[in-house]
Amino acid sequence: MNAAALSPDQVAGLGRLDLVARLVVEGFLVGLHRSPYHGFSVEFAEYRQYIPGEPVTHMDWRVVAKTDRHYTKVFAEETNLRATLLVDCSASMRFRSDDAALSKLDYARLLAASLSYLLLRQNDAVGLELFDRRPLASVPARATRRHLFRLLAPLEKLPHGEGTDLAGMLHRQAERLPRRGVSVLFSDLMTDPAQVSAGLKHFRHRGHEVIVFQILDPRELDLDYRHDTRFEDLEHPGETVRLDPARIAADYRRRVAAWRETLRRELRGQRVDLVELTTDQPFDRALLAYLLKRRRLG
């Protein structure tokens, strides 16, 4: 399924966000139809009586001819889920290693744009929340195709994020969301796993399903730098340290692995789906993870 997927390097040079979203999703769907998941995203479910004024796209004319009654096909997609995309715009998300095509934040916004396109294509309502330590932008959920451009506008010009209060913002957003739905978080999750878990537990307590896309730069996982390197704390400008990564790489990797395992355990305990991504991976894995989640809910 991933053979024809657009790489982040290719996507980075495409320009317009609506074009990126369409190409990523259409390419993904072509791959999906060639995969073992072929057909699952648009499944015929049942008939229902036609309501005057509706489009006749799915009218079953054979049934009309036989019974003189108007029925339309209902597909599994028409469950009309409500999804809210929560994009962490804090300063740590701006990190991009020298050989990466995208920063974590650029990756998050392209994935959010692509997911918005996919959801609206499925007649789901989509809303958007951007935040760092405070709310930055909000777009209420709607299900019309025209709504895509309202969602893309703040993603085109992302605010210059500052520090992180991920746990606090999760609690705030959980209180603000008006009804049950699917909440989709895009973040590097670089904070205490217990605090992340507590914030996401708030969503679960209020009846929301949650899927988290953790986005990291590959160098944040392996610290694979060949020379002495100066590191700067993006959320505390001016705080820097110079070191030889090779001397600490093994210990660093052990600590990162332990942190990630703690995150997995915490989120598993809250029945939150965690999808771990790096900025060099195509978006297909994330889109498929969402569709599988949606299928379980439908």
Q: Is 43 left (phi over 0), alpha (psi -120 to 50) or beta?
A: beta
pLDDT for 295 equals: 76
Asked if residue 167 and residue 68 are part of one domain, the reply reads no
The answer as to whether 1 is a domain residue is no
pLDDT for 224 equals: 84
Q: Provide the mean pLDDT of the chain.
A: 83
The token pair that represents 259 in the structure block: 């942190």
Provide the domain count of the chain: 2
Asked if residue 212 and residue 181 are part of one domain, the reply reads yes
Asked if residue 205 and residue 276 are part of one domain, the reply reads yes
CB atoms within 10 A of CB 227: 7
The answer as to whether 108 is a domain residue is yes
Task: Kindly report the backbone phi and psi dihedral angles of residue 255, in degrees, each rounded to the nearest multiple of 5, phi listed first.
Answer: -70, -40
H helices present in 177-283, as ranges? 193-205, 218-222, 245-269
Q: Decide: helix, strand or coil at residue 40.
A: coil
Over 60: is that where the pLDDT of 195 sits?
Answer: yes
CA dist 263 and 166 (Å) reads 14
- The angle subtended at Cα 41 by Cα 123 and Cα 105, nearest 5°, is 70
- The residue ranking higher by pLDDT, 146 or 159, is 146
Asked if residue 226 and residue 248 are part of one domain, the reply reads yes
The answer as to whether 2 is a domain residue is no
Asked if residue 290 and residue 263 are part of one domain, the reply reads yes
Asked if residue 255 and residue 182 are part of one domain, the reply reads yes
CA-wise closest residue to 49 among 69, 77, 34: 69
Element (H, E) at 274: strand 273-278
CB atoms within 10 A of CB 43: 11
From 208-212, 219-223, 252-256, 293-297, the region with the lowest mean pLDDT: 293-297
Over 90: is that where the pLDDT of 245 sits?
Answer: no
Q: Say if CB 263 and CB 193 are below 8 A apart.
A: yes
Question: What CATH code is carried by the domain that includes residue 217?
Answer: 3.40.50.410
Asked if residue 150 and residue 130 are part of one domain, the reply reads yes
Q: What is the pTM of this model?
A: 0.82
Asked if residue 57 and residue 204 are part of one domain, the reply reads no
Domain extent, residue 65, equals 44-77
Taking each helix axis from N to C terminus, what angle separates 17-33 and 104-121, rounded to the nearest 10 degrees?
60
CA-wise closest residue to 119 among 37, 21, 7: 21
- Rg value, the chain, Cα: 21
Asked if residue 51 and residue 89 are part of one domain, the reply reads no
The token pair that represents 286 in the structure block: 């994330």
Over 50: is that where the pLDDT of 1 sits?
Answer: no
First to last CA, the chain: 23
| CA 40 to mean position of chain CA atoms | 20
Asked if residue 160 and residue 191 are part of one domain, the reply reads yes
The token pair that represents 180 in the structure block: 């049950």
Asked if residue 158 and residue 90 are part of one domain, the reply reads yes
The answer as to whether 271 is a domain residue is yes
Q: pLDDT tens for residues 52-92?
A: 665 555 555 565 565 666 555 544 444 578 999 999 999 99
Asked if residue 64 and residue 103 are part of one domain, the reply reads no
The answer as to whether 3 is a domain residue is no
pLDDT for 70 equals: 58
What percent of the chain shows pLDDT beyond 90?
Answer: 53
Element (H, E) at 43: none
The answer as to whether 175 is a domain residue is yes
Q: What is the DSSP letter of 283?
A: T
